[in-house]
Structure 1
Amino acid sequence: MSADGFTGGPPPGARADWTIDQDWDSYTPAEHEVWTTLYERQVKLLPDRACDPFLKGLDALDLHRGGIPDFARINEELTRLTGWSVVAVPGLVPDDVFFDHLANRRFPAGQFIRKPEELDYLQEPDVFHDVFGHVPMLTDPVFADYMQAYGEGGRRALGLGRLHNLARLYWYTVEFGLLETPQGLRIYGAGIVSSHAESIFALDDPSPNRLGFDLERTMRTPYRIDDFQQVYFVIPSLQSLLDATLQDFGPIYARLAQASDISIAEIVPEDRIFTRGTQAYAAAGGRLAGARCGQTEPSDR
């Protein structure tokens, strides 16, 4: 989790890298029950919606034992599979800290869990969004490499002043990406798989555009953090996403500096169209999306 605007160092109790102890023993039975409620609701919904790597990762990590998962236990299997680990953080962290964790195959996750009355909307990402939504995909070797490459690229984007472009890549892949499969479109983005309402909206609703992923086109497209998406980008494979990232972004940033943004709902002639959306949802004014969890990507300034 990352956000800009930090002026001081880590908060009290946090280490220099902004990590804290998860303190699993301090969770209450009520907090564990919130996890169980959210988990059971999503696992009933996600078969035939989430992609196979996510579902396999969910099984591999066995996130349904004893309520909120113990990060130490998760890390035993996650590290064995891909060399990643989950580290607890007190909330949103500075961009440079976020990128450093990713580049070193550490995923920063919020320690707290939402309250029972917040099941369907939360401003700041919690442990359910971060662990249920993000961590299963980190068991896949290709996606794990993509996330590390993204972290390494983030350092450069900070230095070149192109963080807003790179943030859009994270948003439309890691958070809200769709995958093309022989069985149809499937979800891999954490912001979708952790949201009951958007897990349905992203695949079934006629309103949003669903377009083929193109790196530069995606990085030219703004997004909104407080509602369902008006556009989803579809990758043909996780390997294609990794391959797109393992290139020199310097020339790309130079071209983006000379290019204008593409509005969220716009379709351009070069787009590969899976679904030409009606945009009826946005035209009606939208509403708060299910289980939307604030800003979890690097800051889009």
Structure 2
Amino acid sequence: MLYETSSPAHGLAAGTPPSPNWVIDQNWENYTAQEHGVWKTLFERQSRLLPGRACKAFLENMQHLPMRPDEIPDFRRLSEVLMRHTGWQLVAVPGMVPDEVFFTHLANRRFPVGQFIRSPEQLDYLQEPDVFHDVFGHVPMLMNPALADFLHAYGQGGLRAQKLGALDQLARVHWYTVEFGLLQEDGALRIYGAGIASSRTESVFCLEDPSPHRIRFNLERVMRTHYRIDDFQECYFVLRDLDELLELAQVDFAPLYQSSAQQAVLQPGDILASDELYTRGTGAYHHAKRA
């Protein structure tokens, strides 16, 4: 997903928390016809783009959710389905929340969802996650037991990482998996990360553009690698399958924080001799932007 800096601030950026855990009512009845129309535009174009690009779990789980093109979903109905499948529920928040609040929700199998939706002028450029990113991008994969358990463990790990001063390293794992992860499936690369699945442009760029690197996932490598929040990623890390997330959920990160902190931080476009490459990117897109 691409971001801009001129959109109205929500959540943490807007200031005062509405409640100690930042949870608010979704107030589904208050969405306007225009807001439902924005959802419809985004939903329909992503639904056309993702077959053949998104992983099977994403596409199949979408069919089992009360999610339609003509209206923003009701979080209560989505939570009923999620609870039956993986024990998760959605909670509405006004936007970005503090780290500790975010991790506490995840550690209790509550997924915080931005209650607002972008304006018609922001279809492709958004400063922070909205209801389309959070629901369309994340919720289908929350139906998958491997990702659901990984995200639960990530929340617990985030609370520990705060005490160890290692949030930057853990955040990179989340970014390159849950948000911008690819996996290998049926001999091809497929999307499972929500930041890609909810973006018209990046869902094409990540798989088809020659510019980015596509690298076999390695935990310590990922923990050392910066990421971009303002543009397409310069590299994507590829899991062999979703069950690899379950293995990550069992890892003791504390010694990895110590070892990776003693090594140089890597830039997104860096390639190491030890990297297992699916694609060595040309870097042309970002070179042109820098020029």
TM-score normalised according to structure 2 size: 0.93
* Change over 3 Å in CA distance of 1:270–1:245 after alignment to 2: farther
> What does residue 78 of structure 2 align with?
74
Is the partner of 1:122 in helix, strand or coil? coil
> What does residue 263 of structure 1 align with?
267
CA contact (8 A) 2:214 2:235 kept: yes
Greater alpha carbon shift after TM alignment, 92-101 vs 250-259: 250-259
Matched, 1:179 2:183: yes
Is the partner of 1:179 in helix, strand or coil? strand
* Change over 3 Å in CA distance of 1:203–1:286 after alignment to 2: farther
Q: 1:37 aligns with which of 34, 37, 41?
A: 41
Is the partner of 1:91 in helix, strand or coil? coil
CA contact (8 A) 1:102 1:150 kept: yes
Which amino acid is the alignment partner of residue 201 of structure 1?
F
CA contact (8 A) 1:177 1:188 kept: yes
CA contact (8 A) 1:222 1:263 kept: yes
> What does residue 99 of structure 2 align with?
95
**1:115-130 alignment runs, 5 A limit:** 115-130=119-134
Alpha-carbon deviation of 1:66?
A: 4.4
Which amino acid is the alignment partner of residue 21 of structure 1?
D
Cα deviation code 1:134-186 (max 9, x no counterpart): 11100011110000010010011100001000011111111100011124000
Aligned pairs, how many? 281
* Change over 3 Å in CA distance of 1:89–1:7 after alignment to 2: closer
Q: 2:222 aligns with which of 202, 209, 218?
A: 218
Matched, 1:83 2:87: yes
Matched, 1:57 2:74: no
Please report the RMSD computed on the Cα atoms of aligned residues, expressed in angstroms. Answer: 1.8
Which amino acid is the alignment partner of residue 240 of structure 1?
E
CA contact (8 A) 2:103 2:155 kept: yes
Matched, 1:239 2:220: no
> What does residue 167 of structure 1 align with?
171
Alpha-carbon deviation of 1:267?
A: 1.0
Which amino acid is the alignment partner of residue 51 of structure 1?
C
* Change over 3 Å in CA distance of 1:95–1:190 after alignment to 2: same
Greater alpha carbon shift after TM alignment, 242-251 vs 58-67: 58-67
Is the partner of 1:72 in helix, strand or coil? helix
> What does residue 114 of structure 2 align with?
110
Which ranges of structure 2 fall in alignment gaps of 5 or more residues?
1-11
Is the partner of 1:61 in helix, strand or coil? coil
> What does residue 287 of structure 2 align with?
283
Matched, 1:144 2:139: no
CA contact (8 A) 2:150 2:245 kept: yes
> What does residue 273 of structure 1 align with?
277
Which ranges of structure 1 fall in alignment gaps of 5 or more residues?
1-5, 288-301
Cα deviation code 1:251-295 (max 9, x no counterpart): 1011012111122111111111000000000100179xxxxxxxx
Is the partner of 2:21 in helix, strand or coil? coil
Alpha-carbon deviation of 1:10?
A: 5.1
Cα separation, 2, equivalents of 1:196 and 1:44: 10
* Change over 3 Å in CA distance of 1:42–1:8 after alignment to 2: closer
Identity across the alignment (%): 58
> More relative contact order in 1 or in 2 (CA 8 Å, sep 6+)?
1
Is the partner of 1:195 in helix, strand or coil? coil
Give structure 1 regions of 4+ aligned residues with deviation exceeding 3 angstroms. Answer: 6-10
* Change over 3 Å in CA distance of 1:207–1:119 after alignment to 2: same
* Change over 3 Å in CA distance of 1:9–1:124 after alignment to 2: closer
Is the partner of 1:185 in helix, strand or coil? strand
Alpha-carbon deviation of 1:238?
A: 1.2
Alpha-carbon deviation of 1:242?
A: 2.1
Cα deviation code 1:34-80 (max 9, x no counterpart): 10110000000100100111112211113116410000111111111
Cα separation, 2, equivalents of 1:24 and 1:116: 19
